Amino acid sequence: MDQVIQYTISGLSTGSVYSLVAIGLVLIYRSTRILNFAHGDITTAGTFVAFALLGHQLPFGIAAILAIIFGAILAMVFYFSILVPAQRRDATQLGQIILTLGLGLILQGGVLYFGGAEPQSFPFPLSEFKLYQVGTISISQLSLGTFGMSLIASILFYLLVQKTKIGLAMRATSENLPAAQTLGIPTRRVLAFSWGMAAGLGVLAGLFLAPALLLDPFFMLEPFMKGFAAAILGGLNSLPGAIIGGLILGVAEALAGGFVSMAFKNTLAFIIIIVVLLLRPEGLLGQEFKERV
């Protein structure tokens, strides 16, 4: 029983990071119906910016804030300079998805050029090896900080979406874009803000993942796929579903790795994608999307 609790706690910490990645994917999909395949690469670029700033002896808090801002600005610039012109030329959704894939490849090349291909240790104020003992359960300082950060970020994001004017505009835009435009909502700016918010959450997740992984240009590839699986599990149009999906996936992976094998743990996310798409394509909390005409 102690092992189950230990693996569950570890899984909740990892799953909370998957949730942040999934929230970013769902946020963009809800508002634009686009799957952003550059999400992981924007996160990687932002994390490398933080790494570079830390190398110049900036305090971690300042470096982290600047990296999050960098990621948000990068995503908004992409939206305004690439996606908006493409939409004005009646680009298909598939074409716009390919544009995000192209952005991801460009960012991979940039990170390889400026950051190098060698894996590097990411300096972080919390330690993975400092443990807190609660009875027979051990919790690392990094895991505790990761879960706490994800919880706070999720709560703040929920309050932003549900309790502010910009959140109301985001919900209106995602529900019915033509109606939101008729009501005078600046939908382009709202959508750009959504892209920036999604990227900022992704970079935040990357900053807490980097200490547990070696930092290289592809370190977010697997977490991105896990976040994608979590978004599908919870529902691609459900923000609460993204959070729940991430937590479920994290716990399931931890239990599978502990009681089955690490090889099975690494394939579990893709098995979940297949099963959910076959049995419930809209996800646990998602609803079937109906196009308004």
What is the C-alpha to C-alpha distance for residues 108 and 41, in angstroms, rounded to an integer? 6
pLDDT at 25 over 50: yes
3-state secondary structure of 132: strand
pLDDT > 70: percent of the chain: 97
> Residue 54 — pLDDT band, cuts 50, 70, 90?
very high
Overall average pLDDT of the 203-221 stretch: 91
Report DSSP state, residue 124. -
Overall average pLDDT of the 45-54 stretch: 95
Output the pLDDT for position 32.
Answer: 85
Distance of CA 231 to the CA centre of its chain: 9
pLDDT, tens digit (0-9, with 9 covering 90-100), for 108-167: 999 999 888 888 899 998 888 888 887 778 888 988 999 999 999 989 998 998 889 998
* Mean pLDDT over the full length of the chain: 88
Integer CA distances (angstroms), 206 to 36, 93, 174, in order: 16, 27, 26
3-state secondary structure of 280: coil
pLDDT at 192 over 50: yes
Output the pLDDT for position 191.
Answer: 93
What is the C-alpha to C-alpha distance for residues 66 and 199, in angstroms, rounded to an integer? 13
Output the pLDDT for position 99.
Answer: 95
> Residue 293 — pLDDT band, cuts 50, 70, 90?
very low
> Residue 59 — pLDDT band, cuts 50, 70, 90?
very high
pLDDT, tens digit (0-9, with 9 covering 90-100), for 264-279: 777 877 887 788 878 8
Report DSSP state, residue 284. S
Residue 200 and residue 34 in contact, taking contact as beta carbons nearer than 8 Å: no
pLDDT at 173 over 50: yes
pLDDT at 290 over 70: no
Distance of CA 208 to the CA centre of its chain: 12
